[in-house]
């Protein structure tokens, strides 16, 4: 049987791609190809979908819809459906409805592997996500149902569920000719950003064959830069502490805070351009010193910002301010930078404010629960304190975030405890995904630009489209293997946010 997952799909499922067909049209076509027919045989198709998304469905398909799907419901539904089948075919082919590059060829290879080795779960590894389906033996669906937790259904639920008790299942893997996981691509039409990527790859000829698609990904790397996914916004240049590992940024405008009205305009521009964008406030200044943090949060919420992250040292906030922020947007994410448990180590790293910051962190944890992260930037200055720091906050039920030290292209001493950089240099993820926006609305190349000498333009004056496109030149240089100016010695190119 074919099990088609449309649970994680959006209206982008029906957006026409450059060949005039949507991902849904391509799915219907693909299930008719000899490769899929061979897999499919005369077995039925089960479509799992959110309510109201898919209207025109082939008569022979069985459809199950829910407002919200959990992993357990998925396995239970697939199990019930498979138990009612009369066929002796025990194979379930699991595929996503919005994957326009789903490969019949890889599907056939997986099927052979699955059948020849009589395994229970077969998947492909190393390909960009969306090129390969997964195969499972329907007789393990009830076991997977028991292993699954009652959490919202994610795309990778088959692998994640099997992995919980991997030794109980026979598993086979088909390896890609080369490893493409480093590109972190999701070839699904599930949002503006991924749909733009699928369109660009199709425009470049990626639908001709798997080989062509994979060669485009390596030879035309600039195509993966589509829309920004993350914006670091300096709503405040003020700092409550002098942090040892955070250098001073130049501030050409001399402005101290971004006004609430300007910030609201900025959010609207960003969301109109990149609907899935996440924002972080305030990077690198302290948002707690802004006169109206709760109004900034309300402006981001009202503009439809998908995800908001507040970064703070927890010092300088007005009494009651955090409660107001929580009341406006209880689901936002909050990072409290504390760096050390030991008082002296804390002072060495952050100066004064230990008691205030720790009290703030306790309050933040109480308000935001597991959306509050207690952070430490790991360096030779706090390495010996880190175990105690971690245990202290873990025992309080906090999420602990250990951040990487940044030497800002050797403008700060290299205090890294370990070198995490990849063996092979690749184009910078920040150029590919991020916008770094200063207090006056000017976007800069990235957060490494302390001198603010690489402006991309001002969002209020030049428009977001023009600003974003300005960053393409530097990204193209990286794709060509050129790493000039501060990029040359940078150790941040492989890190990414969200
Ligand atoms: S490589 Fe470093 S300096 Fe260059 S754009 Fe990326 S983060 Fe900035």
Given a cut of 80, whether residue 205 has pLDDT beyond it is yes
Query: How much is the pLDDT for 35?
Result: 79
434 alpha carbon to ligand 1 midpoint, in Å? 11
Ramachandran region of residue 203, left (φ > 0), alpha (ψ -120 to 50) or beta? alpha
**Residue 104 and residue 30 in contact, taking contact as beta carbons nearer than 8 Å:** yes
CA distances from 46 to 22, 49, 82, 142, 439 (A): 20, 10, 9, 17, 51
Condensed to tens digits (0 to 9), the pLDDT of residues 250-275 reads 999 999 999 999 999 999 999 999 99
Give, for 331, the enclosing helix (H) or strand (E). Answer: none
Q: What is the pLDDT of residue 88?
A: 81
* The pLDDT of residue 377 is above 90: yes
Please name which of 334, 299, 330, 336 lies closest in space to residue 314, comparing C-alpha atoms.
336
Confidence of residue 63 (pLDDT cuts 50, 70, 90): very high
For residue 286, say if its preceding peptide bond is cis, omega within 30 degrees of 0.
no
Q: Give 243 Cα–ligand 1 centroid separation in angstroms.
A: 21
* pLDDT at residue 362, as a whole number: 98
Burial class (CB in 10 A: 0-12, 13-18, 19+), 422: exposed
Is the CB of residue 491 below 6 angstroms from any atom belonging to ligand 1?
A: no
pLDDT at 171 over 70: yes
DSSP-assigned states of every residue in 369-433: GGGEEEEEEE-TTTGGGHHHHHHHHHTTT-EEEEEEP--TTTTS----SS----SS----HHHHH
What's the gap in Å between 393 CA and the centre of ligand 1? 32
Pairing of strands 372-378, 45-50: unpaired
**Res 40 pLDDT > 60:** no
pLDDT at 47: 96
Tokens representing residue 222 in the block:
């600039």
What is the 424 CA–ligand 1 centroid distance (Å)?
A: 15
Determine phi and psi for 402, rounding to 5 degrees: -100, 115
- Mean pLDDT for 427-443 is 97
* Residue 57 reports pLDDT greater than 70: yes
Q: Is the CB of 39 under 6 A from ligand 1?
A: no
Cis peptide before 284 (omega within 30 of 0): yes
Average pLDDT over residues 441-463: 97
pLDDT of 306 strictly over 90:
yes
Q: Please give the number of the atom of ligand 1 that sits closest to the Cα of 428.
A: 6
> Which residue matches tokens 């309050």?
363
Residue to mutate, 284, 407, 446, ligand 1, most ligand atoms under 8 Å from C-beta: 446
Which atom, in ligand 1's list, is nearest to the CA of 445? 5
User: Order of strands, edge to edge, in the sheet holding 121-125?
Assistant: 62-66, 45-50, 2-5, 91-96, 134-137, 121-125, 171-175
Helix or strand or coil: residue 210? helix
Cβ neighbours of 404 (radius 10 Å)? 15
Determine if residue 276 is left, alpha or beta; phi over 0 gives left, psi from -120 to 50 gives alpha, anything else beta.
Answer: alpha
Q: Provide the sign of the torsion angle of the four alpha carbons 438, 444, 446, 449, taken in this order.
A: negative
CA of 487 to the centre of ligand 1 (A): 5
User: What confidence category does residue 405 fall into, taking pLDDT thresholds of 50, 70 and 90?
Assistant: very high
Q: Report the atom number in ligand 1 closest to the C-alpha of 409.
A: 3
**Percent of the chain beyond pLDDT 70?**
99
3-state secondary structure of 438: coil
Handedness of CA 225, 228, 234, 240 (dihedral sign): negative
Question: Among residues 272, 259, 222, which one has the least CA distance to residue 440?
Answer: 259
Does any ligand 1 atom lie closer than 6 A to the CB of residue 267?
Answer: no
pLDDT greater than 90 at residue 125: yes
Give the pLDDT score at 330.
97
| Residues in a beta bridge with 93 | 2, 135
Q: How far is the CA of 389 from the centre of ligand 1 (A)?
A: 30
Q: Is ligand 1 within 6 A of the CB of residue 486?
A: yes
How far is ligand 1, taken at its centre, from the CA of residue 315, in Å? 29
**Tell me, what's the pLDDT at 39?**
64
**Closest residue CA from atom 4 of ligand 1:** 487
Closest atom, ligand 1, to C-alpha of 478: 1
Cβ(456) to ligand 1 under 6 A? Answer: no
Residue of 404, 430, 456, 484 to mutate, ligand 1, most atoms within 8 A of C-beta: 430
Question: What are 320-363's pLDDT values in tens digits?
Answer: 999 999 999 999 999 999 999 999 999 999 999 999 999 999 99
CA of 480 from ligand 1 middle (Å) equals 15
Average pLDDT over residues 481-491: 95
Selection from 408, 416, 406, 425 nearest residue 486 by Cα: 408
> Chain-wide mean pLDDT for the chain?
95
pLDDT recorded at residue 417: 95
Look at residue 41 in the predicted model and tell me its pLDDT. Answer: 63
Measured from the Cα of 490, ligand 1's closest atom is 2
Q: How far is the CA of 341 from the centre of ligand 1 (A)?
A: 31
Q: Is the CB of 431 under 6 A from ligand 1?
A: yes
Q: How far out from the chain centre does Cα 468 lie?
A: 19
Of 108, 158, 99, 97, nearest to 130 by C-alpha is: 99
Q: How many CB atoms lie within 10 A of CB 241?
A: 18
User: Which range is least confidently modeled, 148-162, 318-332, 391-405, 449-463?
Assistant: 148-162
């Amino acid at each position: 049987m074919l099990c088609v997952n449309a649970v994680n799909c959006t209206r982008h499922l029906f957006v026409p791609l450059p060949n005039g067909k949507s991902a849904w049209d391509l799915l219907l076509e693909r299930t008719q190809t000899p490769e899929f027919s061979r897999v499919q045989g005369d077995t039925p198709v089960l479509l799992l979908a959110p309510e109201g998304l898919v209207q025109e469905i082939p008569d022979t398909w069985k459809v199950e819809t829910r407002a919200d799907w959990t992993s357990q419901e998925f396995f239970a539904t697939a199990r019930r459906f498979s138990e009612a089948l009369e066929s002796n075919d025990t194979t379930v082919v699991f595929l996503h409805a919005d994957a326009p590059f789903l490969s019949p060829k890889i599907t056939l290879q997986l099927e052979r592997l699955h059948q020849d080795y009589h395994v229970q779960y077969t998947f492909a590894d190393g390909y960009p996500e969306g090129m390969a389906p997964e195969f499972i033996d329907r007789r393990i669906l009830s076991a997977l149902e028991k292993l699954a937790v009652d959490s919202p259904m994610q795309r990778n639920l088959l692998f994640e569920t099997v992995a919980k008790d991997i030794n109980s299942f026979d598993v086979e893997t088909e390896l890609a000719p080369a490893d493409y996981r480093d590109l972190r691509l999701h070839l699904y039409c599930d949002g503006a950003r991924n749909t733009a990527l699928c369109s660009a790859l199709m425009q470049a000829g990626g639908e001709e064959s798997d080989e062509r698609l994979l060669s485009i990904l390596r030879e035309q790397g600039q195509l993966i830069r589509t829309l920004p996914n993350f914006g670091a916004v300096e709503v405040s240049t003020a700092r409550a502490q002098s942090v040892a590992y955070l250098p001073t940024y130049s501030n050409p405008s001399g402005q101290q805070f971004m006004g609430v009205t300007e910030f609201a305009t900025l959010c609207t521009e960003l969301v109109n351009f990149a609907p899935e964008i996440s924002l972080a406030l305030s990077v690198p200044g302290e948002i707690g010193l802004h006169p109206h943090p709760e109004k900034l949060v309300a402006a981001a919420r009202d503009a439809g910002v998908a995800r908001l992250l507040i970064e703070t040292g927890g010092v300088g906030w007005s009494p009651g301010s955090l409660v107001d922020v929580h009341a406006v947007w209880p689901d936002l994410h909050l990072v409290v930078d504390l760096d050390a448990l030991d008082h002296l180590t804390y002072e060495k790293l952050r100066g004064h404010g230990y008691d205030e910051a720790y009290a703030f962190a306790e309050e933040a944890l109480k308000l935001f629960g597991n959306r509050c992260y207690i952070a430490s930037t790991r360096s030779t200055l706090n390495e010996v304190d880190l175990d105690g720091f971690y245990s202290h906050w873990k025992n309080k039920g906090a999420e602990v975030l250990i951040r990487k030290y940044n030497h800002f292209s050797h403008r700060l001493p290299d205090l890294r405890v370990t070198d995490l950089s990849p063996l092979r240099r690749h184009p910078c993820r920040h150029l590919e995904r991020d916008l770094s926006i200063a207090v006056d609305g000017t976007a800069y190349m990235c957060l490494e630009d302390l001198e603010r000498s690489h402006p991309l333009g001002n969002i209020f004056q030049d428009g977001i489209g023009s600003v974003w496109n300005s960053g393409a030149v530097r990204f193209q240089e990286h794709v060509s293997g050129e790493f000039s100016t501060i990029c040359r010695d940078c150790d941040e190119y492989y890190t990414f946010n969200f």
